[in-house]
Structure 1
Amino acid sequence: MTKHTIIKKSLLAAAVIIALPQAQAADDKQDIEHISIISHHDKLRKEAGSATLLSEAQLAEYEYDDIHRILSNVPGVNIREEDGYGLRPNIGFRGVTPERSKKITIMEDGVLIGPSPYSAPAAYYFPVPTRMTAVEVFKGPAAIKHGPQTVAGALNLVTRQVPEFTEGGIDVAVGSDGYTKAHGYYGSVVNNVGFLFEAVNLQADGFKELDGGGDTGFEKNDILAKFNYKLSQGGYDHTFGLKLSYADELSDETYLGLTEEDFAQNPYRRYAASQPAEMDTKHSQIMLSHILDGNGVNVTTRLYRNDYERAWLKLNGVGAKGGASLSKIIANPESFANEYGVITGARDSVVAGSNIFLNMGTNDREYFSQGLQVDANSNLTMFGLTHDISVGVRFHEDEIERKHFEQAYAMENGISTLIEGSKQFTSLNTENTKAWSVYIEDKVQLDALTLGMGLRGELMDMSYQDNKDADVWIDKTTRIWLPSLSGFYQLSDDAGLLFGVHQGFVPSSPLQDPDIELEKSVNYEFGGRFNDGVTQFEIVSFFNDYENLNESCGQSNCGVNDQQDQQFSGGEVDVYGLEMQFAQRYPLNLQIDIPYSLTYTYTKGEFQNERATTFAQWGYIKAGDELPYLPSHQATFNIGLAASDWKVNVAVKYISEMSEAAGRSTEDFELVLEGAEVPNTTIVDISASYELGRYGQVYAKVDNLFDETEIVSRRPYGARPGKPRQFSLGYKYQF
């Protein structure tokens, strides 16, 4: 038996032996029916799988706008930072690649919200967390109801619900680096018709210093309108709903980072070549819903349509086609002194005997996703046993149309200027998917044991069309069934054990090499919960056994132009680890409490075979090589002081070092970041608030209190920092 096998089995055994689950007793007064999936506290506690709820009160503690910072309080989440503001989140669960959150299922109010979750799951659009009232995370068998990505789990963002009485509020804030927030909502009921209007504006000038001057920040707008109508008939309650939303973003973002030497001198510098960089996006959603509830049956029907368009202008390369990649130039500036000089603005593009121009690419894309989704739940008794049966069916269609082009820019006197007439299209294609998804889960009560048996089906028809050549057309059909088994054993009113096993799956593009197997895994988890009303504790061990791990090369994670959109196979991979949550509230005296909590994750991901790849993150891998961008240890410790009219909270977040490449170079392929590591980081955030009674609340916060400036990533083109220290001061008023 190998050392790694012993470690894996020890972790699984340890969780079963020492884990104690949360209490099962549910108080109807604690009902949180505004949550669309976890509808009661007792459902959260009895989940026969890992489920975490962050409530509206928890989200308000630090007033985060960045989903990365919010999810630091959820165990089992691994992220890769990029721009410092969380504009393009990179989120993974239990060791899956965090790249563009493409291997987790992302939902808003229980509906797929990614631009094209089947055809192109990279989530370049992400809802503004500021307007969310809850965040739900499902891992293990708890995620079997939510697909198509089921190897890791699902993330559901819950928007504000239409109120039953008149209510509203405002939230405004200002801060360093030109940061401002304006958020307001108002809702009421008129003649049995409820309505809600909500709007958010977020903006900042940015914290980077652009050579030649200019902003490096962003502006985001998000508008939401909801309407509902309720009636009762024949013993059933009906709720008819309409949801309309619109969001846009204009951000001065780039993939271009810095050389190691330049980062050491000024981590917040941005090279002159990135002056024209800009991301311009627009997103809209319309959703019609109907909820039927009564006589032990609940049926929710949703009809939805999402449209998203984006155009991102950024630096793709320097010089002639086929020359050195940007990643090689930034990694070895001495070997490419002329190209590096043009990028930094120290050298003009046109000099005697040598012309070196900037290739600026605009990835212009249009997406849509639409579908009809029905979810039903019923409690019934058969053969003397209580059954909680959930079933669902969804027809979904999504599409991405790529209209990518490049233009040449000339560097002159430190200014990057467009060369008119240089536009050339590089990618013109369309991918489309039509998919039926079905699931059924039956939770059977056997004395103290709740046993859940589930099955999910994904039936997909995918197509690819090259819009430059009508003869290039690819069709792909995938039919897969994913079983799950889970259980929760109640030891006492305060404690119990959970366990589960399920089949995981990630859809693949029709462009994937047919010789590459689908990505599938068998996932196991064991653990438990404890909650006696004072102490809450949960610990879960997991082991994900991948038959075949696949990865694709995108510009954000690869940096090798001739690998774009290629799929690579890593073969068998094992990912295992331990997740833990602990929370208590200690009364210091009759007036002041000390709430504190700890979230900890240990994760290990290892390739199980030897193979030579040309993928920029893998290279030549051997058995035992670790997955890149996966820290072994992550921890968040929160502690505060809370009185009736004021509170102070401190969050300390630690992430251990993580490698940026799994393997090593070969004679045929040079791994640019071989041996490179993202260093460990410890970030401290602090927030405080004071209640003004009927006049509202004031709050202040400092993100990155000690102004840590470590590298958060070197992909795709050089070292980039996280957000520096940011102060902000805000005011809230609710009625």
Structure 2
Amino acid sequence: MTKYKGMNKSLLAMAVAVALPNAYADENAKDDIEHIQIISHYDKLRTEAGSATLLTEEQLGEYEYDDIHRVLSSVPGVNIREEDGYGLRPNIGFRGVTPERSKKITIMEDGVLIGPAPYSAPAAYYFPQTTRMTAVEVFKGPAAIKHGPQTIAGALNLVTRSVPEFTEGAIDIAAGGDGYTKAHGYFGSVVNNIGFLVEAVNVQADGFKELDGGGDTGFDKNDFLAKFNYRLQQGDIEHNFGLKLSYANEISDETYLGLTEADFAENPYRRYAATAPAKMDTEHQQVMFTHSMSTDNLSLTTRLYRNDYERAWLKLNSVEGKSPQEILLNPESEDNQRLYEILKGEQDSVVPGAANFLTMGTNDREYYSQGLQIDGDFSFNLFDLNHDLSFGVRFHEDEIERKHFEESYEMKSGISSLVENSKRFTTLNTEHTEAWSVYVEDKIKLDALTLGVGVRGELMDMHYQNNNNPNDWLDKKTRIWLPGVSGFYQLSEDSGVLFGIHRGFSPASPAQSSEIEIEKSTNYEFGGRYNDGVTEFEVVSFFNDYSNLKESCGQSNCGDSLQQDAEFNGGAAHVYGLEAQFSQRYPLNLQLDIPYSFVYTYTKGEFKNDRRTSFAQWGEVKSGDPLPYLPEHQVSFNVGLSADKWRTSLAVKYIGSMPEAAGRSWQEGTQEFTLYLEGQEVPSSTTVDLSASYDFDDYGQVYLKVDNLLDEDKIVSRRPYGARPGKPRQVTVGYKYQF
């Protein structure tokens, strides 16, 4: 792997930079290097094809969410699986793709891939802190043709704060239940035509779970950002140069271990003593150089970027060689009862003639991703038709190096402690990808019809190396082209219809042999949009036709150490549904307004073939079996009351029940597979959040928020090991001051 390490430095040595005005932005928006936001947002009808949603800074500040799961609850077509209650490691899917670690969507920050290794290991164990974002954009269907490599479901773009044109700054401090605190501040200005911005965030909590024997179950996250820019005008050409530096770290006392059904019913926030040593320790850095140039009809943007991420997660793997899932599903059996008592700390793990029972594993990984990305937009007239040509090319390189090891712990008097000199390495490997991506799309204006015709190409060279065995390696190449056609027909000044069809794909990891097929689908959508400046309405139907559905086994969704990082073919599948959103502001009188919105998502996913697998969520599936962790119905309703100096808002979110597994257990000759959680469901849930604020003009603003107002106890998942809860009621009070 020496040759790849050399490339790391050589890529960063490239001297060029250019920055993108934006694929879907209005022409009026193409004037600022910091305008990484892609969707224009005005009180008029949006005419871009494809389904796209923008959450503005005002909307993000309404409920002061730190959890991206809660932020996206107002976006149609989003399916999530909660995990830790705080959204530390989000599980996000669009239009029915698996939400597991958000690995099937393209995640960007300021238009650049932000996942630790988006090609080699797309599971997003790092996710930017939502608190510091000023906009969130969601693209689905043909709207995502410019963003890859994951192109079946769509893309999520997180927009950071721009360098201000004048001196400005702000502080935001808050405190709440379970030891929650937030401290957020920024300051920016322009000196001698050089603009700068510095920003810092700390969010922490003691946690809401109650550890047997006592102790924290929370987290502590820090995030620092610095930006610099310089503008230069040369005749009709405007140049913008930018530098972005960011650093983030996290320490969280998190575990994968949940509870038995009986223990959850008695106290859903209990945590077993065996999980006390669990800890996630992460660190992330980003450097990005940007240069943009623009004229009246041409704009070019180049970004040179580098992301580094390290993580080490200590967590329980097994008890006396047995998976915690087996123990928690049947804790009263003769084989499991003693192990269950050890988990709870009610029995010592060391007895005469026995070994140490608790095996804790640390998944230690190092990642990097880097690349050079050029995007452009050219407007011209040809054959009396208006053309808007968008194009882009990106060279991207990423890598994951796994250094997993296990250690023995013993349970004595309710305390889990390390056995010295018990460290043993389990997984030592490296996966590396070099990828060229290109896209071109021409939007042609034909009277009331805007027609978009485009294609995206992904050209990947992948390498896998077992670092324990120099002879165990794999090289493979993937070349795929993904065409798409989309359109918007404007019926009137306030309404129009949209349609599209495009090919989507999700790459297999470098370690997988040719038996694992690329995930591919043909995706269709049709809908309508209305906006008269007061009332906004959009409804979109979609149908994704998979030629092969692919899934991978991670500890978070599988729990089987023998299948760690293995991938499985699911064959043909269909996912279809309807997304609807409606919003309006009703003036109660001259002083009071009632803003309200309604979002509904219907999604149905099912296998279209009979297949026998050993994947922990599938087993033996038959045509018509539903996809796991996909609710059919989701409803979100927001209503508020606002005046000149104060406002209050209420958000209600309903998520229907979701199957924990798709198929059934099977046996054939001497082979057998037990599908845990067969026939079980994550129950439906309704969550209510409340927020309120009062503005003291020059003296700042105070706000109150209550997450989970009704204090609903809900099971959010039983994977990988037992039932786990969402966050209980949390009351937070905060203060903001801007200058």
TM-score, scaled to structure 2: 0.94
What runs of 5+ residues in structure 1 fail to find an aligned partner? 1-23
1:613 maps to which residue?
613
Secondary structure in structure 2 of the residue aligned to 1:452? strand
1:712 maps to which residue?
716
1:675 maps to which residue?
679
Whether contact under 8 Å (1:501, 1:522) holds in the other structure is yes
| Count of residues paired in the alignment | 709
Whether contact under 8 Å (1:25, 1:493) holds in the other structure is no
Q: Is the aligned partner of 1:117 residue 2:121?
A: no
Matches within 5 A, 1:456-605: 456-605=456-605
2:17 maps to which residue?
none
Secondary structure in structure 2 of the residue aligned to 1:350? coil
Classify 1:296/1:149 alpha carbon distance in 2 versus 1 (closer, same or farther; 3 Å): same
Matches within 5 A, 1:412-427: 412-427=412-427
Per-residue CA distance 1:200-239 (angstroms, 9 max, x = gap) = 0000000000011110000000000000000100311110
Classify 1:533/1:450 alpha carbon distance in 2 versus 1 (closer, same or farther; 3 Å): same
Matches within 5 A, 1:266-665: 266-320=267-321, 324-335=322-333, 336-665=336-665
Q: Distance in 1 between matches of 2:160 and 2:28?
A: 22
Whether contact under 8 Å (1:342, 1:356) holds in the other structure is no
Q: Distance in 1 between matches of 2:305 and 2:33?
A: 22
Q: Distance in 2 between matches of 1:409 and 1:532?
A: 64
Classify 1:27/1:451 alpha carbon distance in 2 versus 1 (closer, same or farther; 3 Å): closer
Classify 1:452/1:27 alpha carbon distance in 2 versus 1 (closer, same or farther; 3 Å): closer
Whether contact under 8 Å (1:587, 1:594) holds in the other structure is yes
Per-residue CA distance 1:382-424 (angstroms, 9 max, x = gap) = 1110000000000000000000000000000000010000000
1:701 maps to which residue?
705
Q: CA deviation at 1:517?
A: 1.9
Q: Distance in 1 between matches of 2:705 and 2:437?
A: 44
Q: Is the aligned partner of 1:93 residue 2:94?
A: yes
2:46 maps to which residue?
45
Q: Which moved more, 1:174-183 or 1:292-301?
A: 292-301
Q: Which moved more, 1:327-336 or 1:267-276?
A: 327-336
Q: CA deviation at 1:639?
A: 0.1
Q: CA deviation at 1:38?
A: 2.1
Secondary structure in structure 1 of the residue aligned to 2:666? coil
Whether contact under 8 Å (1:72, 1:653) holds in the other structure is yes
Secondary structure in structure 2 of the residue aligned to 1:45? coil
Q: CA deviation at 1:612?
A: 1.1
Q: CA deviation at 1:182?
A: 0.2
Residue 55 of structure 1 aligns with an amino acid whose one-letter code is T
Q: Distance in 2 between matches of 1:99 and 1:40?
A: 30
Per-residue CA distance 1:308-330 (angstroms, 9 max, x = gap) = 0000000011114xxx3221111
Q: CA deviation at 1:30?
A: 13
Secondary structure in structure 1 of the residue aligned to 2:340? helix
Classify 1:478/1:346 alpha carbon distance in 2 versus 1 (closer, same or farther; 3 Å): same
1:727 maps to which residue?
731
Q: Is the aligned partner of 1:685 residue 2:667?
A: no
Q: CA deviation at 1:514?
A: 1.2
Q: Distance in 2 between matches of 1:598 and 1:196?
A: 36
2:191 maps to which residue?
190
2:138 maps to which residue?
137
Whether contact under 8 Å (1:254, 1:315) holds in the other structure is yes
Q: CA deviation at 1:669?
A: 0.7
Q: CA deviation at 1:352?
A: 3.5
Classify 1:188/1:427 alpha carbon distance in 2 versus 1 (closer, same or farther; 3 Å): same
Q: Distance in 1 between matches of 2:175 and 2:367?
A: 34
Matches within 5 A, 1:13-92: 35-38=35-38, 40-41=40-41, 45-92=46-93
1:5 maps to which residue?
none
Q: Distance in 2 between matches of 1:519 and 1:28?
A: 38
Q: CA deviation at 1:727?
A: 0.3
Whether contact under 8 Å (2:285, 2:308) holds in the other structure is yes
Q: Distance in 2 between matches of 1:284 and 1:26?
A: 32
Whether contact under 8 Å (1:30, 1:41) holds in the other structure is no
Q: CA deviation at 1:516?
A: 2.6
Whether contact under 8 Å (2:188, 2:196) holds in the other structure is yes
Whether contact under 8 Å (2:356, 2:408) holds in the other structure is no
Q: Distance in 2 between matches of 1:32 and 1:446?
A: 29
Q: Distance in 1 between matches of 2:158 and 2:511?
A: 31
Q: Distance in 2 between matches of 1:590 and 1:275?
A: 57
Q: Distance in 2 between matches of 1:44 and 1:167?
A: 32
Q: Distance in 2 between matches of 1:257 and 1:301?
A: 46
Q: Distance in 1 between matches of 2:352 and 2:472?
A: 44
Whether contact under 8 Å (1:249, 1:281) holds in the other structure is yes
Q: Distance in 2 between matches of 1:28 and 1:288?
A: 24
Q: Distance in 2 between matches of 1:79 and 1:34?
A: 30
Classify 1:47/1:629 alpha carbon distance in 2 versus 1 (closer, same or farther; 3 Å): same
2:258 maps to which residue?
257
What runs of 5+ residues in structure 2 fail to find an aligned partner? 1-23
Q: Distance in 1 between matches of 2:570 and 2:33?
A: 43
Q: Distance in 1 between matches of 2:393 and 2:64?
A: 36
TM-score, scaled to structure 1: 0.95
1:9 maps to which residue?
none
2:21 maps to which residue?
none
Classify 1:26/1:199 alpha carbon distance in 2 versus 1 (closer, same or farther; 3 Å): closer
Q: Distance in 2 between matches of 1:72 and 1:116?
A: 26
1:157 maps to which residue?
158
Q: Which moved more, 1:81-90 or 1:508-517?
A: 508-517
Secondary structure in structure 1 of the residue aligned to 2:232? strand
Residue 164 of structure 1 aligns with an amino acid whose one-letter code is E
2:227 maps to which residue?
226
Determine what percentage of the aligned residue pairs are the same residue. 71
Per-residue CA distance 1:476-523 (angstroms, 9 max, x = gap) = 100000000000000000000000000000011122231232100000
Q: Distance in 1 between matches of 2:600 and 2:31?
A: 28
Whether contact under 8 Å (2:37, 2:135) holds in the other structure is no
Q: Distance in 1 between matches of 2:582 and 2:66?
A: 24
Runs of 4+ in 1 over 3 A off after TM superposition: 24-35, 352-356
Q: CA deviation at 1:39?
A: 5.1
Whether contact under 8 Å (1:32, 1:39) holds in the other structure is no
Whether contact under 8 Å (2:535, 2:582) holds in the other structure is yes
Q: Which moved more, 1:215-224 or 1:560-569?
A: 560-569
Classify 1:27/1:686 alpha carbon distance in 2 versus 1 (closer, same or farther; 3 Å): farther
Q: Distance in 2 between matches of 1:41 and 1:730?
A: 28
